[in-house]
């Protein structure tokens, strides 16, 4: 029998459900709008219907091992989605227990950054690594950390909050309540704020001046940088310097094989990667120089969220 | 049969060899001066003689499971002491292999900060914790990190260099070649430099003004602070603020049960602990507030080095 897992990627916009093997193939896929639901009951009910439709598509030569869920603020230990800021129905949802009432399979939950790390381990560039870190650069900065071949969860399940280490003393106000957190500078949101700050104080021209703040995203900044827009290029340099300096610290702490960048901002590829590598190597302790690979995630253009959630099943059940 | 391990603590001044059970009792002890030796051959030969004397004292109801060594720059993976700055005979010594030629027991090596963490796990305050950190505040700042119940080693064996994360951009020159590393501020050496800087720029009186720079140590600063010396108190406050802010970052990354402080500077007890706790809690991400114990190591006044090295044996052989 072929081993399969269902991976569920709960995003602020869409919920995607995929039937996956452990070779990164998605055999069946369903999706629905996360934001159409105001209560956990109606959301969970639609979710179960869709899972059932996926289960009906399992080929006869295959076996479903379990269901993995990746969600913002998903807690592996409690099986709950706790206070997810972008999910209006998710104040404190015991999603694992709610699904278990209807579905007789092993069900696991984790947060989206940990799912990204699991995906990289099972399907991506980290197959041969026991010590690596995946950094997701989206609305915020999340991280999934493997140490000694295991996902670092922390004792209450909230390990890996690299986005909330301090980057700039008394710096930008963060959604968490602190000031100067790394994610306020290094994320799709962070680079957008950087550009808006730069535009306000410069007399120089920039392609980016034509956008309203709400319209701009890391994609537009990336496009402008490719056209050699000075403000966009400086924003990438500024962002990369802050990230590189912090990666130097992270390397001193974890001595990892590799660090993978993913998420919207990482789609800039070399424009981000080259300066990040430069600033990391400039700031790293001499014994770690040129010892850590820094790469864009191998899954950045695939259904990374679904694969990461499915990888949680293979990882927890120890299926290679 | 009672399970015993030999723990060897290689320090810059003394080498101590203890026969230990797994309840923190040291049954036999030998020591000799590390600095009396100029070559690895003469040092290793004396070390083996002393181990043999300890082996001769093993009671008939007990069994020696193995030998653990804690040393500056001891590498678990290679079994070598590599470029230890305070050991003049240790350029690159394959100590595990050299001992194995003469002693037919399992032999393990680790660095002194990792040994401290192992000691805390087996004998100290971390018996019930899977996620904790021991920070040694001596000449430098070392750290031993447990994540998921296992010591974090990193892929080349150099994980846990928290002493070399950046504390102050472009700050004090560090022995590693970088500037502003945490250990240049937060260590016995760091607080001594802080005091000397403060004395140079103040007109205020201080007990510490009578000491020459070479004579002063964290002990004298601690004594002066107990007598309400303002410079000494400010030095503790300054040191604690830098450490507390970094511990807030460390908590966001690891979400540990506890952080233990040990080494010479930690002997100041509450004088260090109270402000460190205050600054940590002030700077920690809200979800981690009051979630992490910060304590002085339970082994700070015992033979922590020997116990940590012996703990390595019990840990590697999975003996509870």
* B269-289 pLDDT per residue, tens: 999 999 999 999 999 999 999
One domain, residues A290 and A308: no
Tens digits of residue pLDDT in B146-160: 999 999 999 999 999
Q: How far apart are CA B174 and CA A198, in angstroms?
A: 34
Torsion of CA A119, A125, A128, A130, to 10 degrees: -60
HSE of B184 in the Cβ direction (CA atoms, 13 Å)?
19
Among B72, B114, B181, B255, the residue to mutate for chain A (most A Cβ within 10 A): B255
Give pLDDT, residue A87: 78
Say if residue A21 is in the same domain as residue A116. yes
Q: Is residue A283 situated within a structural domain?
A: yes
Q: Please list the residues that pair with B4 across neighbouring strands.
A: B64
Distance CA B111, CA B95 (A): 13
Residue B223: inside a domain: yes
Higher pLDDT, B39 or B239: B239
What residues make up the domain containing B12? 2-122+302-316
For residues A138 and A248, membership in a common domain is answered with yes
Q: 């974090």: which residue's tokens?
A: B152
**Contact (Cβ atoms closer than 8 angstroms) between residue A296 and residue A9:** no
Q: Are residues B69 and B144 in the same domain?
A: no
What pLDDT does residue B35 have?
Answer: 86
pLDDT at residue A127, as a whole number? 95
Is residue A127, in this structure, part of any structural domain at all?
A: no
Backbone angles phi, psi at B126, to 5 degrees: -110, 15
Question: Is residue B127 one of the residues assigned to a domain?
Answer: no
Residue where the block lists tokens 């963490």: B117
B85 & B9 share domain: yes
Q: What percent of chain B has pLDDT over 90?
A: 84
pLDDT at B13: 85
Same domain, B289 and B149: yes
Among the partner-chain residues A145, A148, A178, the one whose CB lies closest to the CB of B285 is A178
pLDDT of residue A118: 96
Q: CB distance from A168 to chain B under 8 Å?
A: no
Q: B173 at the A interface (CB within 8 A)?
A: no
Measured between CA atoms, the residue of chain B closest to residue A288 is: B158
Query: Cβ contact (<8 Å) for B286 and A160?
Result: no
- Select from B148, B176, B250 the Cβ nearest to the Cβ of A148: B148
Q: Are A234 and A206 in contact (CB under 8 A)?
A: no
Q: Give the residue with greater pLDDT, B289 vs B212.
A: B289
* pLDDT of amino acid B320: 77
Query: 3-state class of B200 per DSSP?
Result: helix
What pLDDT was estimated at residue B266? Answer: 96
Minimal CA–CA distance to A264: which of A12, A6, A47? A12
N-to-C CA span, chain A: 14
The pLDDT, as a whole number, for residue A89 is: 79
Question: Predicted ipTM?
Answer: 0.94
What's the rounded Cα separation, in Å, for the pair A96 and A8?
12
- How many domains, chain B? 2
Chain B residues whose beta carbon lies within 8 Å of the beta carbon of residue A152: 147-148, 254
Residues B219 and B168 in one domain: yes
pLDDT tens readout for residues B9-23: 998 889 999 999 999
Judge whether A176 is closer than 8 Å to chain B, CB to CB. Answer: yes
Strand, coil or helix: what is B283? helix
- From A183, A189, A145, select the one nearest A166 (Cα to Cα): A183
Please tell me whether residues B112 and B144 are part of one structural domain.
Answer: no
- CB of B168 within 8 Å of a chain A CB? The answer is no
Looking at the structure, tell me whether residues B49 and B143 fall in a common domain: no
Any domain includes B79: yes
Q: 0.80 cut: is pTM over it?
A: yes
Domain holding B38: CATH number?
3.30.420.40
pLDDT in tens, chain A (320 residues): 899 999 999 988 899 999 999 998 899 999 999 988 888 999 999 999 999 999 999 999 999 999 999 998 899 999 999 877 777 777 889 999 999 999 999 999 999 999 999 999 999 999 999 999 999 999 899 999 999 999 999 999 999 999 999 999 999 999 899 999 999 999 999 999 999 999 988 888 999 998 888 888 899 999 999 999 999 999 999 999 999 999 999 999 999 999 999 999 999 999 999 999 999 999 999 999 999 999 999 999 888 999 999 999 999 998 87
Statement to judge: residues A229 and A192 lie in one domain: yes
Decide: B86 and B119 in contact? Cβ < 8 Å.
no
- Same domain? For B42 and B80 the reply is yes
- Rounded CA gap, A230 and A225, in Å? 7
In a domain, A77, yes or no: yes
What is the H or E stretch that residue B144 is in? Answer: strand B141-147
Is there a single domain that holds both residue B87 and residue B211?
no
Of B112, B154, B118, the C-alpha closest to B133 is: B118
d(CA B313, CA B118): 10
Q: Which of B43, B91, B56, B126 is nearest to B307 (CA)?
A: B126
pLDDT in the model for residue B301: 81
- Distances B205 to B11, B90, B190, B212, B216 between C-alpha atoms, Å: 36, 44, 21, 15, 16
Q: A40 to chain B, minimum CA–CA distance in Å?
A: 23
pLDDT on residue A191: 97
Q: Is residue A308 part of a domain?
A: yes
């Amino acid at each position: 029998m072929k081993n399969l897992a269902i991976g569920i990627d709960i995003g602020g916009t869409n919920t995607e459900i995929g039937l996956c093997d452990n070779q990164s193939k998605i055999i069946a896929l369903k999706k629905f709008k996360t934001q159409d639901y105001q209560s956990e009951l109606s959301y969970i009910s639609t979710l179960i219907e869709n899972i059932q439709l996926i289960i009906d598509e399992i080929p006869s030569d295959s076996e479903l091992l379990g269901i993995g869920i990746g969600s913002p603020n998903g807690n592996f230990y409690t099986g709950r989605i706790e206070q997810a800021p972008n999910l209006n129905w998710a104040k404190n949802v015991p999603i694992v227990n709610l699904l278990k009432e209807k579905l007789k399979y092993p069900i696991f939950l984790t947060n989206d950054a940990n799912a990204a790390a699991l995906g990289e381990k099972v399907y991506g560039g980290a197959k041969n690594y026991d010590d690596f870190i995946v950094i997701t650069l989206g609305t915020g900065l999340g991280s999934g950390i493997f140490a000694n071949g295991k996902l670092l969860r922390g004792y209450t399940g909230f390990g890996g909050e690299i986005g909330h280490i301090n980057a700039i003393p008394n710096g930008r106000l963060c959604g968490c309540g602190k000031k100067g957190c790394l994610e306020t500078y290094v994320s799709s949101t962070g680079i957008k704020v950087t550009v808006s700050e730069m535009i306000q104080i410069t007399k120089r021209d920039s392609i980016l001046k034509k956008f309203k703040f709400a319209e701009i995203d890391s994609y537009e900044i990336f496009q402008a940088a490719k056209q050699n827009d000075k403000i966009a290029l400086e924003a990438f340099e500024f962002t990369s310097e802050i990230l590189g300096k912090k990666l130097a610290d992270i390397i001193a702490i974890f001595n990892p094989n590799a660090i993978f960048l993913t998420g919207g901002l990482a789609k800039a590829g070399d424009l981000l990667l080259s300066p990040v590598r430069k600033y990391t190597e400039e700031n790293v302790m001499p014994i770690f120089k040129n010892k850590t690979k820094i790469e864009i995630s191998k899954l950045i253009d695939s259904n990374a969220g679904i694969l990461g959630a499915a990888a949680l099943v293979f990882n927890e059940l120890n299926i290679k």
